Structure 1
Amino acid sequence: MSPILIAEQVLNGLQSGVMLFLMAAGLTLIFGVMGLINLAHGSLYMVGAFAAAALAGATGSFLLALLGALVAAALAGALVEIVVIRRLYSTDHLDQVLATFALILIFSEGTRWLFGSFPLYLDIPAALSGPVTLPGGIQYPLYRLTLIGAGLAVALGLWLLIERTRLGIQIRAGENDREMIAALGVDISRLYTVVFALGAALAGMAGALVGAIQSVQVGMGEPVLILAFVVIVIGGIGSIKGAFVGALLVGLTDTLGGIFLPELFKLVTDPATATSWGSSLASMAIYILMSLVLIWRPTGLFGARA
């Protein structure tokens, strides 16, 4: 296995990880501040992807499509929070799970009614198409490299928002004692709507960016949602830093496991069956990683200890 191939797969893992972070960051914000289990978060990822594909087809501009995806997902998130989620804060988690699962069905059928059952395709912008030569002679797609940079920039911006702004102070305070900040005059309903819309916008952005390298179709958000839950369990529920580290670990484990494990099995077993055994284990690698982290630290890598 050549060093260039390994480097390319590491970059693929980073790209997958930073896109997972955009999903997981919104999910952990919503759960950390609101205590809400939102199974419909993957549907907001799908909303962003479909909005971007539709706007790109209508305007021919990828930038306008990306901005439209952010706005569409944020508005959808705010509407869902005001109409449905606001009634679930005082209920137990089972009610939240059932209600947000119903939202998945509503979003899926609504999207199918608007766009049909066939997948849409979002073209990579011409300025970002083609490969770029990296040090060591590595040829890597410029668009995927841009995704890594965009994800890291959003991670930095989100950290600055949480740590350096008044809204961030309110979000962190709401995470610890929502009754107290309400007593101090903070409009808790408005704060919840803003947090939910922010989480939805991050998911929509991820959907729009990934939509250019895979087909945009109904139900595309659910597999990503499962990985996002794995990320926040590994990183620690409510921790943005944990979501970032967990996303990178999951992205690299998933990508590199699919390459190295089949090769490893070829050394210890029959080459005819090594690929199937290695591929099966690779598909379980992130869940094995999650189990090991929870055995070592049940609250996740950066979760607060009881």
Structure 2
Amino acid sequence: MSLPLFIEQILNGLQFGVMLFLMAAGLTLIFGVMGLINLAHGSLFMVGAFACAAVAAATGSFWLGLAASLAAAAMAGAVIEILVIRRLYERDHLDQVLATFALILIFSEGTRWVFGSFPLYLDIPPLLTGAASLPGGGQYPVYRLAVIAVGIAVALGLYVLIGRTRLGMRIRAGESDREMIGALGVDIGTLYTLVFALGAALAGLAGAMVGALQSVQVGMGEPVLILAFVVIVIGGIGSIKGALLGSILVGLTETLGRFLLPHLFALILPASEAAGMGAALASMLIYILMALILAFRPRGLFAAST
């Protein structure tokens, strides 16, 4: 195994991890502040990807598509919060699950009706094409490095927003005692809509950036949603810091597991059996990781801290 190849897999894990962070950050904000289980978060990921692909195809500009993904996902999030989610805050979690699962079906069929069943494709912008040199002589796509940089920038931005601004103070107070900040004159309804729209915009951004690496298609958000829930359980519900660390752990575990395990099993098994066994075990690794962390820290790595 060469050093450039190993570094490439590390970077792949980081890129996958920061993409998960963009999903998980919004999800953990919504869950932590509102106490809401939102299964439709993956649909907002899909909305962002389709908005980016459609606008980029119409205008020829990936950057306009990226802006459209943020706007479309945020608007969709605000609309469903006002029309649907607002009625669920005081309801049982089962009602929240059923209602947001219904939203998944609505978004999927609505997207299929508007765009059809065939996948769309996004081109990487010319500014981010090409590859950067790695230590040892390898090459790595500039676009994937840009995804990592965007994830880090978003994490820093959220840290400043949550920890250093008046809005962040209200978000943290709303997580701790929503009745008290309501009594102090804060409009809880508006605050919740803003939080939900912010989380939706982050999911849309993730969908748009991933859309340039794979096809944009109906249902693309559901597999990512499952991993995002794993991330917030590992990191601690309501914790942005936990979401970041959990995302990186899951991304590296998933990527390196799929890369290294077949090689390790090949030392003792025939190549065909090693590949199959390595792939099977690699798909279980993130859940083993989650179980181990919860065994020692049942509330996650950074529970109840933003």
1:293 aligns with 2:293: yes
Q: Which amino acid aligns with 1:166?
A: R
Distance change >3 Å, CA 118–CA 272, structure 1 → 2: closer
Secondary structure of 1:132's partner?
strand
Identify the residue that residue 10 of structure 1 maps to in structure 2.
Answer: 10
Q: Which amino acid aligns with 2:205?
A: M
For residues 11-26 of structure 1, the aligned pairs below 5 Å read: 11-26=11-26
Identify the residue that residue 130 of structure 2 maps to in structure 1.
Answer: 130
Distance 2:2 2:59 in 1: 42
Identify the residue that residue 109 of structure 1 maps to in structure 2.
Answer: 109
Q: Which amino acid aligns with 1:100?
A: T
Identify the residue that residue 78 of structure 2 maps to in structure 1.
Answer: 78
Q: Deviations over 1:34-91 (max 9, x none)?
A: 0000000000000000000000000111111000100000000000000000000110
Identify the residue that residue 274 of structure 1 maps to in structure 2.
Answer: 274
1:97 aligns with 2:97: yes
Q: Give me the CA root mean square deviation.
A: 1.0
Q: Which amino acid aligns with 1:195?
A: V
Q: Deviations over 1:254-304 (max 9, x none)?
A: 000001111111223343411101110001111111111111111111114
1:230 aligns with 2:234: no
Distance 2:17 2:62 in 1: 22
Secondary structure of 2:267's partner?
helix
Distance 1:33 1:138 in 2: 44
Identify the residue that residue 181 of structure 1 maps to in structure 2.
Answer: 181
For residues 127-276 of structure 1, the aligned pairs below 5 Å read: 127-276=127-276
Secondary structure of 1:185's partner?
coil
Distance 1:159 1:56 in 2: 30
Identify the residue that residue 35 of structure 1 maps to in structure 2.
Answer: 35
Q: Which amino acid aligns with 2:184?
A: L
Distance 2:150 2:271 in 1: 40
The answer to whether the 8 A contact 2:42-2:225 is kept is: yes
The answer to whether the 8 A contact 2:4-2:135 is kept is: no
The answer to whether the 8 A contact 2:26-2:202 is kept is: yes
Q: Which runs of 5+ in 2 are unaligned?
A: none
Distance 1:151 1:138 in 2: 23
Distance 2:271 2:221 in 1: 35
Structure 1 range deviating more: 103-112 or 264-273: 264-273
Q: Which amino acid aligns with 1:126?
A: P
Distance 2:304 2:204 in 1: 28
1:3 shift after superposition: 1.1
The answer to whether the 8 A contact 2:3-2:136 is kept is: no
Q: Deviations over 1:5-59 (max 9, x none)?
A: 1000000000000010000000000000000000000000000000000000001
Q: Which amino acid aligns with 1:134?
A: L
In percent, how many aligned pairs have the same letter? 74
Number of aligned residues: 305
For residues 43-82 of structure 1, the aligned pairs below 5 Å read: 43-82=43-82
Distance 2:229 2:8 in 1: 26
> What TM-score, normalized by structure 1, do the two folds share?
0.98
1:202 shift after superposition: 0.1
Distance 1:134 1:8 in 2: 8
Q: Which runs of 5+ in 1 are unaligned?
A: none
Identify the residue that residue 302 of structure 1 maps to in structure 2.
Answer: 302
